[in-house]
Each structure stands twice: as structure tokens, then as C-alpha cells.
Structure 1
Amino acid sequence: MQTPTPTQTQTPTPGPAASGGGESPPRGPAVGPAQAVAPAQAAAPGAPDTGRRVAVIRGESTAEIPVHLLFRDDTGPGPVVHAADPRAPRPAAARPPQQAGPRSVVAAPARPATPVDPRIAERPGPAVPGGVAVAAGIIALAGCGAVTWWAGVLPRALTALLRLPAHPYHGIRLEQWGLLALGATVAVLAFGGLDRGHVGYAWVLSLFGDYRGSVRRTGLVWMSPLLLRRRVDLRLRHWRSEPMGAVDARGTALQVVVLVVWRIRDTARATLAVADHERYLREQVEAAMARVLSQLPADAFHEDAPTLRNAEAVGEALTRMLKEEAEPVGIELYAAQPTRIEYAPEVAAAMRRQRVAAIDAQHRDSVLTSVVDAVDDTVHRLTSRGLVELDAYERKALVKDLTVAFYTGRGAGEGV
């Protein structure tokens, strides 16, 4: 008898019970220690799992695949891999389509922001309190008067009135002309740049087309008279639009009136980044309103679904859109609420008839439901208390009579 070596294996032969009705596990020779760790041999069908992977195909090479690659959501083009590459990730299992819930008013996908010159941003402009400018102007005038008195240009009557000693006039020298010119220039600039600042207003200053800053001071303010000033209203304002045309999700023509509450936050952008910020806001309101109202129908006559009658949801979506559009031009928008959404005159009559028909059908359905409930309760009470004994035919007749009586009574009482 030949003893098997550690590098050989013997195939067990089935015994007599293998061909009969019952089966018994075949017995084979003992497996050596070298066979237990050989990666090229297949594990026995009934062998316990030892946690070690055993290759089935000779020469097989595998690689681990990161778990997160099996659940990636991106659908963009990935790296090109060959089918024979053992490192190629397996395609993820197809996900079941999610059931869409009831539609609601939502904002459209985000769009690229409106391009604005980054150099246009509000910053403090050159301005000083008006008292300083007044003092400087008075000092300049006093200096000019002193120069003229010293040169003997002042009349004797004025000199006597001011109780000043008189100086003989020998002409105005060149340095005196320079002092007079300097004083006059300072006085003109000091008094010419004075202005009054009011609460809720600001100035946008520019010089030769270049933005120099914004001034939000109140009271007496001095600004250089060489700068171009543009007055900007910073108060909280509201704008009520005229009836504007739009369509709903079903293509029905609508007339909408919107109330917008806004104010200017960045004076530089509101003045320099757009030609007319008020006109820009009006046009953006019309565009955003058309985008929001086209997502839902104005009315759902025969179904329970979101409609444009939910003024709060429509206002939130409209406000969110307008904030994104108004921010690049320095406008801070607080609220945009539709005050009236109605059908256009050409379809108003037809939609009114459809609405009345839907209300009438809903009313009849509620009346019929209440009648059926009342009939069921009456028949159940009569039979459960033993007041009447009814077979199938009599029960049907009673139900029919009670239904006609209750429905006729409800219709006469409610005017149906």
C-alpha cells in the first residue's frame, strides 16, 4: 500500500451508498499540512469557513476595491479601464427610481452671479465736518483783509470804523498778491463745498469718472467742490407693480400684482454698476415672477395639489430669487409678495365657470357622503337593538328609501 506524499492528493471514491437512496459523506485520506495552505486547491464543499480566501482558478489575481467606489453618485466621464484589468471597479447596482412627491414652489437652479466690477464697492469718501470748513473760510477771509489793510487798500472810513491805524498805499507787491490769491482760493473752497446731509440720504462722489467714495454724514458737511456728487436715497422703500402678465404651469394666462420692499445697501454699486437700479429691479421682478408662477397651476379644481393660491410659498420663492439678482447691484431686498393673482380677462369667465362646477361637485360629494353615513348608522342601530328583523331584500329596500329621504331633505334644506 502506497502512502500519499504531502504534495499529492487522492480523489475519494464514492461508496456503495452513493448510488442508493441515502447519501453519506465520502471518506478520503487525511490532508497534510502542506495541502491545507496551498492556495491553488479548492476547499472541500463541507469544510468550515476559516476566514482565508481560497482561489478557485489556478493563476487567478484579484485586487481589493474601495467600498466608496461602489456608491459614487457622479455620472461624469471616469478613467478609461480595460475589461481585462482586474483592478477595474464593478458598476454599482442601479438604484430604484424615487417617487416624486407633490410639487411645490421651489427656486430654479442657481445661475452664475451677475458680473460686477470688483473695484466698485462702497467706501468712505473724503468729507469733514462743516464747522471746520467754516472756520477755515473765515480765517482765510480775515487773512485777505489783513493783507489789504497792510497794503493800504482799505478805505479810510472802514479803517476808522474798525479802529485800525491807516497805512499809506504804495501798491500791492507780488508776495501780497500771492497771499490774497491763496486766501481767496481757500475761502471759495471752504464755503463752496458746504452742504447739508439728511438722514436716509448719501452722496456718491466721483472725479473725472473715477469713484472717490460715499458720504453718509448728516448735518453740515464739507466735500470738495471739485467732486461730482450724486444723491442717493437710502430709506426703506416699497414698490407696487402694475398688473403684469404671466402664465401658470398649465399655460393659463394670469394677471399678477407684486409688492416689493427694498433699500439700497451699497451706494457705489447701485449708482455705478447699473444704469438705473430702479428699472433694473422692476425688470428682475417681472422675470422672477414669470419663473416662479410657471412651476404650479393657479388652481387644482378636482385634486388636492399645491397651487399658486399659497401666497406665502410663492412669496418666499419670489423673494429668494430676487435677493440673488439684486445683491450684485447693491440692493437689499426684504420681501416680494404677490398681492393679487387672478386670471387674465380673456380666460376669466371660463375659469370662473370651471371653479363653480368644481365647488358644486365637491359640495355634492360631501352631501352624498354624509347621507350614506346617516343611512348606515340608522340601519345599524335598528338591527342591532332588535327593533326590526330584515332579510336581504327588505334591507335593500330600507336603505334605498332612507337614502332618498335623507338626500331629498338635505337638498331641500341646503338649496341643492
Structure 2
Amino acid sequence: MTELTGAMNVSCERKASSFNGFVMLVVLVAVSALAIWTVSQGVPPEGAMKDAKLAFAGLLFGSILALVLVAAGFFMIQPNQAAVITLFGAYRGTERTEGLRWVWPWMMRKKISARAHNVHSDRVKINDLRGNPIEVACNVVWRVADTAQAAFDVDDYKTFVEIQIEAGLRTVGARHPYDDMSDEDETTLRGSADVVNSELCAELNERLQVAGIVVDEAGLTHLAYAPEIAGAMLRRQQADAVIAARKKVVIGAVGMVEDALAKLAEDGIVELDDERKAAMVSNLMVVLCGDREASPIVNAGSLY
């Protein structure tokens, strides 16, 4: 924030000075009654004194002018809404009090919503940490925290938010790989959603601070390889799945063979020398690890 202050004048929200609208509504009724009473008295006759005519005209003009000025100063503040008050271009504060309010008619009021906004970004094509082209999109929940910054420090704060969301998404997406292709346990876009979403939220809060915007929640809603490499990456993922499945099958088969040999030796069913054990291990591994059914061969003679 210190560096930003040196580059531009940072606005800061402060409370505006306005009046209760219902009190001014009573004043408006009183002024209206005065104008009606003045008209009801009638225009002075032709023979009336000049001073009487001037007094009538002045009273009528003053009543109408007061009626217009009072009526022009009313404005309404809804829940989670604010009005930025300016006087001839100078900031005079922000009114957040709900209900009917009143300010002098020559003071301008610009209403800004302080409610939560939900933005779903377009799909953005970027390169991940390893240079693979990927497509990402995100959903962001944001709101205006400082109305003065949103109104005066950026040209159009809603457009500013949309552009910074795309820029922040590109920055965070390029920090990590799409998937983990090595044995190292690292942060990935696909496998570390909580970490990536936290980084995206922090990145957007830092970028939108200049506009007085706070991001409450941010998260990826779309993540995929770009079409030009999607096929190759799908085959790689399939190969990884096959290797992982084969590895688990082999580990299980080795355990089963070990248990079988130990059970045979423990019960004394058959005495196996090293060569017979090797043949039995080979046969069991083929049966347990093969993709197809094994065709048994009955040996009617001796192994030797």
C-alpha cells in the first residue's frame, strides 16, 4: 500500500453528513402547505398597493423554490448499498445508513452496491509450470469494501475486477503443473485444489486492493488440457493407471505365493527343493498376474 501511495492519491472512505429523510419529509409537507396557503389567498386586486403585490410574488416564488429544493434532496439507501456524496467534484463522504435520506440538492449522489457479486470467468488458455497448454476457468465472489476507492481510484471498478480475475488466474495457473508426472509430492492444479484456490484468492485480493474490492471466495471451476495435447495426455494417464494396477496385482501375487509356500512347508504336505519352488512360483505368478485364464498342463511324469 505504501508503494501505491507514492504513485497515486489513494482515496479513503469516510462517513457523509446527511439528514434523516423523514424529518425533511415533514419540512416538505410544511412548505407545500405554505405554497398552497399563499395561492389560496389570491392575487392582490388591481388597486392593491405595489408593496402588497411584491410581497405576494416574493412569498409565492420563495415557497415554490423551497418546495423544489427540498424535494430534490431525497434519496433512498437499501440494505447493503451505499451512496457516494460529492460537492462540485470533491468527495464529501459515503452514506451507508438504510432508509430515506436527504442532502442538499447540489450535492451529487452515486449509488454503489456493497452486496456480494458472483463472477464466473471465461475459459483461459495458459501454459502450466511445465509448459503444457491447459484451459482453466474460475468462480469469484467479491464485494466493495471501500466505496471511495471503487468510485475514484479506478475508472470502472466492475470492468477492472473482470480483467484482474483473468490476470490473476493466469498468474496462479502458471505457478504449478497440471498433474504430477514425477514421484515427488508437489502442488498440482488437479490434485491440490485447496492450495490453488487459496493462492488465487490471495492473488486477487492483492490485485484488487487498489479498487477497494475484497474477494471472499475464489476457486477453479474448469481445468483441462488444451485440445491439441488432450489425446496424448489421456494416453499417458491411462498408462499410469495400468502401471499402478499392475504394481498392486504383482505385490498381491507375491504375498499369496509366499503364503502358499509357507503353508505347504508348515503342514508338510510336500517337500519342495529350490528348483520345484522356482517352478511353482513361476506357475502361480503366471496364474495370478495374467490377463487371461491359464490353461493347466497335467504333468503325468516326474519333473526330472
Q: State the TM-score, normalized to the length of structure 2.
A: 0.85
Higher deviation after alignment, 294-303 or 345-354: 294-303
Q: Which amino acid aligns with 2:135?
A: Q
Give yes or no for the alignment of 1:268 onto 2:148.
yes
Q: Equivalent of 1:308, from 189, 206, 229?
A: 189
Aligned to 1:183: 63
CA distance in 2, matches of 1:377, 1:168: 130
Q: For residues 176-255 of structure 1, what are the structure 2 equivalents within 5 Å?
A: 177-255=57-135
Query: How far has the Cα of 1:302 moved from its partner?
Result: 5.1
Looking at secondary structure, tell me which structure has more strand per residue.
Answer: 2
Over 6 Å off, 4+ runs: none
Q: Equivalent of 1:346, from 209, 225, 228?
A: 228
Change over 3 Å in CA distance of 1:395–1:177 after alignment to 2: same
Contact 2:172 2:200 (8 Å CA) reproduced: yes
SS across alignment from 1:365: helix
Give yes or no for the alignment of 1:400 onto 2:282.
yes
Aligned to 2:29: 138
CA distance in 2, matches of 1:111, 1:380: 74
Contact 1:153 1:169 (8 Å CA) reproduced: no
Change over 3 Å in CA distance of 1:111–1:320 after alignment to 2: farther
Give yes or no for the alignment of 1:376 onto 2:258.
yes
CA distance in 2, matches of 1:371, 1:278: 61
CA distance in 2, matches of 1:401, 1:321: 59
Count of aligned pairs between the two proteins: 289
CA distance in 2, matches of 1:402, 1:154: 123
Query: How far has the Cα of 1:361 moved from its partner?
Result: 1.4
Q: Which amino acid aligns with 1:199?
A: P
Q: Which amino acid aligns with 2:126?
A: A
Contact 2:121 2:165 (8 Å CA) reproduced: no
CA distance in 2, matches of 1:369, 1:170: 118
Contact 1:201 1:235 (8 Å CA) reproduced: yes
Contact 1:241 1:259 (8 Å CA) reproduced: yes
CA distance in 2, matches of 1:299, 1:315: 16
Query: What is the CA deviation profile of residues 338-364 of structure 1, one whole-angstrom value per residue up to 9, with x for unaligned ones?
Result: 011111112111111111111111111
Aligned to 2:17: 126
Query: How far has the Cα of 1:173 moved from its partner?
Result: 5.3
Contact 2:168 2:203 (8 Å CA) reproduced: yes
Contact 1:148 1:154 (8 Å CA) reproduced: no
Query: How far has the Cα of 1:147 moved from its partner?
Result: 5.4
Change over 3 Å in CA distance of 1:377–1:302 after alignment to 2: farther
CA distance in 2, matches of 1:112, 1:360: 54
Give yes or no for the alignment of 1:170 onto 2:61.
no
Aligned to 2:176: 296
SS across alignment from 1:153: coil
SS across alignment from 1:259: strand
Query: What is the CA deviation profile of residues 298-325 of structure 1, one whole-angstrom value per residue up to 9, with x for unaligned ones?
Result: 1124535332112111101111111222
Change over 3 Å in CA distance of 1:279–1:388 after alignment to 2: same
CA distance in 2, matches of 1:174, 1:242: 68
Contact 2:44 2:53 (8 Å CA) reproduced: no
Q: Which amino acid aligns with 1:117?
A: N
Instruction: Note the residue ranges of structure 2 that are not aligned, 5 or more in a row.
Output: 294-304
Q: Equivalent of 2:217, from 331, 335, 338?
A: 335
Q: State the TM-score, normalized to the length of structure 1.
A: 0.63
% same residue: 30
CA distance in 2, matches of 1:347, 1:128: 64
